[in-house]
Amino acid sequence: MNVLGLSAFFHESACCLLRDGRLVAAAEEERFSRVKHDPRLPAAAFRWCLKQGGIGLLDLDAVAFYESPVAKVSRQLWAGAPADLLDPERPERALREGLGWEGPILTFRHHLSHAASAFFFSGFPEAAVLTVDGVGEWDTTTYGRAEGTAIDLFASVAFPHSLGLLYSTLTSYLGFAVNDGEYKVMGLAPYGEPRYLEEMRRLVMSRPGGQFRLDLRYFDFIRGRRMYSDALADLFGQPPRPRESEITGFHRDVARSLQAVLEEILLEKARWLHERTGLPDLCMAGGVALNCVANGRILREGPFRRLFVQPAAGDSGGCLGAAALAHAQLTGERPGGALPHVYLGPSWREEDIAGLLDAAGLPALDFRHREADLLAAVVDRLAAGKVVGWFHGPLELGPRALGGRSLLADPRDPAMRDRLNRLVKKREAFRPFAPSVLAGHAAGHFALDHPSPFMLETCRVTSTLDLPAVTHVDGSARPQTVDPAVAPRFAALLEAFRRRTGCPLLVNTSFNVRGEPIVASPVDALLCLGATEIDALVLEDFVIDREMLPANWADLVPAWRERSRSGFAQGRSAVSEDLYTFV
């Protein structure tokens, strides 16, 4: 039974392939197209999933789509979108014409796909389910219980009342891009004080049960050209922050107040959900479930014993849920199983990389069949304070780099965070970096008593080591616990660094620069090396130091970049940066 799941035409297109209910391949289209948040038909990801599965189009039993086009159009019409721009048959037509698929297409509601993407891959026999995002068709938040092949979403909050849209509105007011900068607001929040709780609680009011309501006087996202109305600026007493302008104490305090109110509402609703279901475990998905600070608080202070957050919790992960629902419908069997990792994308063979380096005339240190020597060489560079691009194995699914496409550095270096933000990532100075830590050593450095393989919760740093590069201003961190059985080479690198330095963790941030997707291919990695101040690049068994690059490398990079991009302006998102994408 081969089922292909697909999410597209909203924020982050992606495909996955389930074979007999097991996840074989998954990838976001942006990693192929190099267009951040690419919402278009994921043709490249579709072709790759078939290739990875070793099958052709005729070997598919069904294609599953992650939302209901008809229900979505009804909400868009209600919100005033021009009828001539809306076409509920567009997704099916695109699948038929763009992918050549003539077989069955199964569609599922957006939030049901979110719920399925979390529950079916959690490994829990039964669980409460909470999905929270901007909006699907009509739902913005759903509550349910799941067992076996059944998911019952028994309560919901309807558009336009949305915690995701609340967060996006304040993201825009604070001068960051909608659909992209929400995590910046989360990172900015610990620098402020919750001085605007009263104002924030006027924007969103909790109601009994699972309900809440926005005061729509302060919002303009339904029919306007921006997220907020003038009344919101009047409420806070300051105009919106212009993009790229100075961040003041006021902006930090608004971010902190927003985060605090989001957390208190989510925690309240999680407690209500627990009362309704009586279940010990919780599954979460939807874009708001990527708020790792709120996740950590729900787990620490909430009533649930265990929490599973689907690591591609945003729209891209909806393809997993759609495929799983299709498998359950077609076979009557539960799909998925506990998700051990998300190394589900393309990988490259050593001989292919060797051929690429040869063709490009790039010198490299060759460590093929000498892994111990490779790891020692990488540790030499990390211990010397260098930033290393790490490219190994299959590409990760989702927004977190987890040791497949990572930038690595020494977490003990007090200057490393500023250097990474300024010269490598080229982003705001307040942005934190996450640590990757050997699973067996995590409890000795973090207030963490369970595995956290997907970097989806924060906790206190408790280490006796000074770890300034990964410790946020509030003393927290967002760790990834690395299991040698799951990521053997990455774990071996952490162990080699521990033996050398006594520190079993590294800074791990995504291998990309601001405005671009995480690198997918060796060419992407080489372009990133040329465009940043990365000191060394590890391409599987090859190491390239910056000083080994040809003198004319800076001149070659633009031409390479031009050949690799897909027609969109480099470094630009394909979705609106000022208004949440509804159409």
CATH classification at residue 243: 3.30.420.40
Selected catalytic residue, list 11, 114, 341, 472: 11
Domain contains 574 = no
Q: Contact 273/282 with Cβ under 8 angstroms?
A: yes
pLDDT tens profile 425-439: 888 888 889 999 999
Q: Which domain holds residue 298?
A: 158-309
Single residue among 266, 296, 331 that ends a domain in this structure: 331
Q: Contact 505/524 with Cβ under 8 angstroms?
A: no
Amino acid (1-letter code) at residue 101: W
Domain contains 345 = no
**β-pairing verdict for 505-510 and 405-409:** antiparallel
Q: Are residues 181 and 271 in the same domain?
A: yes
Q: Are residues 7 and 59 in the same domain?
A: yes
435 three-state secondary structure: strand
pLDDT tens profile 328-383: 999 999 999 999 999 999 999 999 999 999 998 899 999 999 999 999 999 999 99
372 or 568, higher pLDDT: 372
For the question of residue 11 being annotated catalytic, the response is: yes
Alpha-carbon distance of 493 to 377, in angstroms, equals 10
- Residue 258 tokens, joined: 């927003």
Q: What are the distances in angstroms from CA 573 to CA 4, 210, 270, 299, 581? A: 26, 34, 33, 33, 12
Alpha-carbon distance of 187 to 433, in angstroms, equals 10
Q: Are residues 304 and 321 in the same domain?
A: no
Please give the pLDDT value at position 579: 65
State yes or no: pLDDT of 311 exceeds 80.
Answer: yes
CATH code of the domain in which 496 resides:
3.90.870.20
Mean pLDDT is lowest, of 276-280, 336-340, 406-410, 552-556, for 552-556
Q: Are residues 549 and 500 in the same domain?
A: yes
Q: Can you point out the beta strands (E) in 263-401?
A: 281-285, 306-309, 365-366, 388-391
Domain contains 276 = yes
Residue length of the chain: 583
- DSSP bridge pairs for 389: 407, 537
Q: Contact 30/565 with Cβ under 8 angstroms?
A: no
Q: Are residues 76 and 165 in the same domain?
A: no
Total domains, the chain: 3
* pLDDT band per the 50, 70, 90 thresholds, residue 80: confident
**Cβ-based burial of 38 (10 A; exposed 0-12, middle 13-18, buried ≥19):** buried
Find all residues with CB under 8 Å of 256, minimum gap 6, and list them: 188, 189, 190, 191, 192, 193, 194, 195
Average pLDDT on 498-508 reads 98
* pLDDT band per the 50, 70, 90 thresholds, residue 223: confident
Q: Contact 155/143 with Cβ under 8 angstroms?
A: yes
Q: Are residues 222 and 279 in the same domain?
A: yes
Q: Are residues 298 and 325 in the same domain?
A: no
Domain contains 140 = no
- Residue 404 tokens, joined: 């497949």
pLDDT tens profile 444-468: 999 999 999 999 999 999 999 999 9
State yes or no: pLDDT of 574 exceeds 60.
Answer: no
pLDDT tens profile 505-521: 999 999 998 889 999 99
Domain contains 118 = no
- Residue 528 tokens, joined: 């990133």
**Cβ-based burial of 245 (10 A; exposed 0-12, middle 13-18, buried ≥19):** exposed
Q: Are residues 262 and 389 in the same domain?
A: no
Buried b (16+ CB within 10 A) or exposed e, 367-377: beeeeeebbeb
Domain contains 548 = yes
Domain contains 433 = yes
Alpha-carbon distance of 7 to 30, in angstroms, equals 12
Q: Contact 5/320 with Cβ under 8 angstroms?
A: yes
Q: Contact 220/463 with Cβ under 8 angstroms?
A: no
Single residue among 331, 366, 395 that ends a domain in this structure: 331
The distance in angstroms from the start CA to the end CA of the chain is 33
Q: Are residues 471 and 399 in the same domain?
A: yes
Please give the pLDDT value at position 571: 43
Taking every pair of Cα atoms in the chain, the longest distance, rounded to a whole number of angstroms, is 66
Alpha-carbon distance of 49 to 397, in angstroms, equals 13
Q: Are residues 415 and 292 in the same domain?
A: no
Q: Are residues 297 and 390 in the same domain?
A: no
Q: Are residues 380 and 365 in the same domain?
A: yes
Q: Contact 274/304 with Cβ under 8 angstroms?
A: yes
Alpha-carbon distance of 76 to 69, in angstroms, equals 10
- DSSP bridge pairs for 284: 130, 309
Helix (H) or strand (E) holding 23: strand 22-28
Buried b (16+ CB within 10 A) or exposed e, 464-491: eeebebbbbeeebbbbbbbbeebbebbb
Helix (H) or strand (E) holding 296: helix 292-301
Domain contains 145 = no
